[in-house]
Structure 1
Amino acid sequence: MTTLTSPSPTTSAAPVAGPPALFRDLIASEWIKMRSLRSTPWTIALTILFVIGSSAVATLADNATHSGPADFLAYDAYPPAGYWTLILVAGSVGALTAVSEYSSGLIRPTTVAVPARGVVVLAKATVTTALWTTVGTVISTGSFLVSQAILSGRQAEVPLTHPGVFRALVASALLAPVCALIGLSLGVLLRHSAATMVTGVFTLLMLPPMFSESDRWSADINHAMVSASWKRLVQNWEPDPGSLGYTATVSGSWIVYALWPLITLALAVLVVRRRDV
C-alpha cells in the first residue's frame, strides 16, 4: 500500500525576495513611463515651436518702442504670451505624470514593487526636472537667438554679455522645470485630473494678477508667485526709486523660484508616505 507523505519543511518552496530596486532603476522606469506616452513628444515639440515663434512675432511687431537694450528681453525675447503657455503646459504635463498613474491604477503595482512611496515621487521629480530643464533651455536659448537675429537687421541687437541677459536666459530656462515640479507635486497631493489642473492654473497663472504692487501686503503676495518672479528676473531695467508701488528684488525672486518646487515636493513626499494608495 502506498502512503502519502507530506513535504518536508526543508524542501517546501519559499518565496525568494529579489534585490531592492535601486534609485537609478526607478529613474529608468519613470523615464520609460514618460516617453511611452505618445502625447508627450508632440506636446513638447509644439510648445517649443509656439513659444519661440511668439518671440519672433513679438520682435517683428515691435517697430521701435521696445527694441533698445533696456527692455527688449521682457517684450521681445521673452514675451508673456508665449511664456504663459509654457507655464501652463509644463505644469499640466508635470501633473499628468502623477495623476495618470492614479487614474489608471498603475500606481498600485508600482507601490507593491517599491513600498517606499516617497522614493517613487523623488524618482518622478528627477526625471521631470531633467526633461523640462532641457526643454526650458532649448526654448530660452531659441527665443533669445531668434529675437537677436531679427533685431540685428535693425542694428538693435543685444549681446549675451549685456547686463541682465544671462539672468533672463537662466530664469526662462528654469521656469519650465519649476512649473513642472509644482504640477507634479499637486498631482500627487490631489490625485484627481480636474482638481489638479484647476489648482495649477489658478496658482500659477490666475492668482498673481489679482495682487498689485501698490500696497505692501498685496505686493508681498504677488512677489511670492512664480510667474511674477519670472517677470522680475527677465526685466532688464531697475525700477525708479521714486515711483509708486513696491518692486520685487532679484534675490527674492530667485528664492521664490527655489522654494515653490522644494516646498510642494516635500509636502507631496510627506503625504504620500502617510496615506493609502
Structure 2
Amino acid sequence: MTTLAPAPRSAPAAPPPARFRDLLAAEWIKTRSLRSTPWTIGLTVLFVVGSAAVATLTDRTARSGPADFLPFDAYPAAGYWTLMLVAAGMGALTVVSEYSSGLIRTTTVAVPARGSVVLAKAAVTSALWTAVGTVASTGSFLVSRAVLDGHRAGVPIDHPGVFRALAASALLAPVCALVGLGLGVLLRHAAGTVVTAVFTLLMLPTMFSESNRWSADIKHALVSAAWNRLVRTWEPEPESLGYTATVPGSWTVYALWPLLTIALAVLVVRRRDV
C-alpha cells in the first residue's frame, strides 16, 4: 500500500511594484484627507490678498499716478512672508507627520522604493502650492489694481515687470513648500524643521546687505532676496547699492533651492533606516 505525498505548495506571487501614478494618487489622498489643509490654504490666501488690499489703501504715494507700486502694494512683505512660512510648514508636515505617527514604516513596507515616495510627495506638493500661489498672486494684483483704478492710478498687466512679478509671487509658494518638504525628510522633526525653514527663508537674508560683495553674494543666493528682486519693477540707481542681484540669477535661485533640497532628501532617504 502506497501513500501519496502531498503536492508542494507554490509560493504566493509577489505583488506588482507600485506605479508612480499610484504613489501620486496615494499622496493626494493623504493631503486632501487632512481637515486642516483646506482651512489653512483658504485663510492664508485670504490674508495674503487682504494684506495687498490694505497696503494699497494706505499707500498715498501710489495714487499720484500709474507708477511702480509693486511690490509694496500688490505684494507686501507681510503677506508673502506669511505665505512662505505656511507653505514651508505645510510642505514639511507632509513627511514629518508620517515620521511622528509611525506611518512611514507602513509606507516603506508597502513601497520599498523610498526615493519614489519622496518624489511623489514633491510632485503633489508642488502642484498644490503652485495652484495656491497662482490664486494668491493673481488675487493680490487684481485687488490692488481695483483700488488704484478708483484713483485713476491703476497699473495694467502689460506694464513692464508686472507679469514677472506675478510669476515670481505665484512660484514662491511651491518653492518654499518643496524646501520645507526636503528639510522635513532630512530632519524628521516637526519643530526642528519649522525653525530651520523660518531661519533659512525669512531670517537669514536680513543678516546680509548688498554693500559688500561677499555679503551680497550670500544674500542673493537666498529665496526671499530672489523674490524681492523679481517683483521689483524698477532698476536701482547705480550709486544706491554696491551690488544688486540680476533677474536671471534670481530665477536660478528659484530653481536650485527646491531641486537641491529634494535631491538631497532622495539621496539621504535611500541610505538610512526609517
> What is the match of residue 108 of structure 2?
111
> What is the match of residue 209 of structure 2?
212
- CA distance 1:65–1:159, shift in 2 (3 Å): closer
1:129 aligns with 2:126: yes
Cα RMSD of the aligned pairs, angstroms, is 1.6
Contact 1:70 1:236 in 2 (8 A): no
> What is the match of residue 36 of structure 1?
33
> What is the match of residue 7 of structure 1?
6
Q: Secondary structure at the match of 2:61?
A: coil
Q: Take 1:219 and 1:40, find their aligned partners in 2: how far apart are those partners?
A: 37
Q: Which amino acid is the alignment partner of residue 70 of structure 2? A: L
Of 162, 167, 178, which residue of structure 2 is paired with 1:181? 178
TM-score (norm 2): 0.96
- CA distance 1:237–1:66, shift in 2 (3 Å): farther
Q: Secondary structure at the match of 2:124?
A: helix
Of 245, 253, 259, which residue of structure 2 is paired with 1:262? 259
Q: Take 1:230 and 1:70, find their aligned partners in 2: how far apart are those partners?
A: 20
Q: Take 1:64 and 1:258, find their aligned partners in 2: how far apart are those partners?
A: 34
> What is the match of residue 197 of structure 1?
194
Alpha-carbon shift at residue 250 of structure 1 (Å): 0.6
Q: Take 2:155 and 2:242, find their aligned partners in 1: how far apart are those partners?
A: 29
Q: Secondary structure at the match of 1:74?
A: coil
Question: What is the CA deviation profile of residues 11-65 of structure 1, one whole-angstrom value per residue up to 9, with x for unaligned ones?
Answer: x252221221110000000000011111111000000000000000000001125
Question: What is the CA deviation profile of residues 172-210 of structure 1, one whole-angstrom value per residue up to 9, with x for unaligned ones?
Answer: 000000000000000001101111011000000010000
Of 134, 139, 151, which residue of structure 1 is paired with 2:136? 139
> What is the match of residue 99 of structure 1?
96
1:51 aligns with 2:51: no
Alpha-carbon shift at residue 212 of structure 1 (Å): 0.7
Contact 2:65 2:152 in 1 (8 A): no
Question: What is the CA deviation profile of residues 98-138 of structure 1, one whole-angstrom value per residue up to 9, with x for unaligned ones?
Answer: 10011111111111111110000000000000000000000
Alpha-carbon shift at residue 7 of structure 1 (Å): 3.5
- CA distance 1:50–1:67, shift in 2 (3 Å): farther
> What is the match of residue 60 of structure 2?
63
Q: Which amino acid is the alignment partner of residue 71 of structure 2? A: A
TM-score (norm 1): 0.95
Alpha-carbon shift at residue 84 of structure 1 (Å): 0.3
Contact 2:62 2:153 in 1 (8 A): no
Q: Take 2:77 and 2:66, find their aligned partners in 1: how far apart are those partners?
A: 18
> What is the match of residue 273 of structure 2?
276
Q: Which amino acid is the alignment partner of residue 263 of structure 1? A: L
Runs of 4+ in 1 over 3 A off after TM superposition: 65-70
> What is the match of residue 76 of structure 1?
73
Runs of 5+ consecutive residues of structure 1 not aligned to the other structure: none
Contact 2:63 2:148 in 1 (8 A): no
- CA distance 1:213–1:50, shift in 2 (3 Å): same
Runs of 5+ consecutive residues of structure 2 not aligned to the other structure: none
Q: Take 1:31 and 1:233, find their aligned partners in 2: how far apart are those partners?
A: 31
Alpha-carbon shift at residue 70 of structure 1 (Å): 4.2
> What is the match of residue 226 of structure 2?
229
Number of aligned positions between the proteins: 274
- CA distance 1:215–1:245, shift in 2 (3 Å): same
Question: What is the CA deviation profile of residues 223-251 of structure 1, one whole-angstrom value per residue up to 9, with x for unaligned ones?
Answer: 00100100000001011112232111111
